[in-house]
Amino acid sequence: MKRDKFPYLLPMRSVIFILIFLNGSNITGKDLGDISNWWTIVATIVNIFTIILLVAISQKNGITYWDLINYKKGATKAKQIVIISIIILVVGTGGMYLAGFLCYGVIPYASPMMIAPIAKILAIINFFLLPVSTAFAEDGLYLGCGVNEIENKCAGILIPAFFYALQHCFIPTLLDGKYILYRFLSFLPLTIILCWYYQKKRNPVPIMVGHALIDMMTVSWVLATSMVPGFYETMCNM
């Protein structure tokens, strides 16, 4: 794939997540909601596939993954990481709360399936794998193949941000319009800000670090509900 075709990869993850969950439901004979707690494992698998693909297409175009995301060693200051991490935390959390209020009339609203327990050993392993792999996969795709490769400045922000937010509608996949809208609205403000910042600074490191940190908070909840019996039920009843 030539570099001018890279933006065509942006819908890829949304399609993959839909196919995995729909086929998973058919194979197991369970409803989508009954397999939704496996979203963290599915996300990590898709992340690894995405990273491998990004590395492969970069090499075919005579560049490295680091060139794709415009990484420059020593170009990042600790202050930048702290500021962007705080922005990601505030806007990310605020976006979910606002979307929850708009769609469900509740603040704070948290979808129970997002912290549902899984097998303990998988929860432990994924605690380390998901945050890092997500940063390299998602930011590599939407910033490297999106913002970097779309010449029009406005389109270079809005198109990657749209697909960046859209993928979250299907992690996990549920055939519920309100849920899909909730997930999309939760992430769109943050993805627009991240794409805008990256287009301006061309430095992925603060974004990737902040991204990994907020995902670590999410998998911490999954780890807790998986390790502590009854904790999930307690959280759902709060």
Task: Look up residue 144 and give its two tokens.
Answer: 């490297």
pLDDT, residue 167, reads: 98
User: CA–CA separation, 232 vs 113, rounded Å?
Assistant: 10
Average pLDDT over residues 56-82: 95
% residues pLDDT > 70 (the chain): 98
Across 171-191, average pLDDT: 95
Q: For a pLDDT cut of 90, what percent of the chain falls above it?
A: 87
Q: Does the pLDDT of residue 238 top 70, yes or no? A: no
Note whether 199 and 146 are within 8 A (CB).
no
Q: How many CA atoms lie within 13 A of 122 on its CB side?
A: 16
Q: Is the pLDDT of residue 148 over 90?
A: yes
Residue 151 has pLDDT above 70, yes or no: yes
121: helix, strand or coil: helix
Q: Does the global pTM surpass 0.75?
A: yes
- Sign, CA torsion 151/191/43/28: negative
Contact of 206 with 81, CB cutoff 8 Å: yes
46 contacts: CB under 8 Å, gap ≥ 6: 13, 16, 17, 20, 137
Give dist(CA 81, CA 72) in Å, integer: 15
Calculate mean pLDDT across residues 192-207. Answer: 97
DSSP conformational letter for 141 = I
User: Can you give the residue ranges of every domain in the chain?
Assistant: 3-236
176 band by pLDDT with thresholds 50, 70 and 90: very high
Q: How confident is the model at residue 112 (pLDDT cuts 50, 70, 90)?
A: confident
pLDDT of residue 51: 98
**Overall average pLDDT of the 150-171 stretch:** 97
Indicate the burial class of 161 (C-beta count within 10 angstroms; 0-12, 13-18, 19 or more). Answer: buried
pLDDT, mean over the chain: 94
Q: What is the pLDDT of residue 2?
A: 86
Give the residue-averaged pLDDT of 136-146: 98
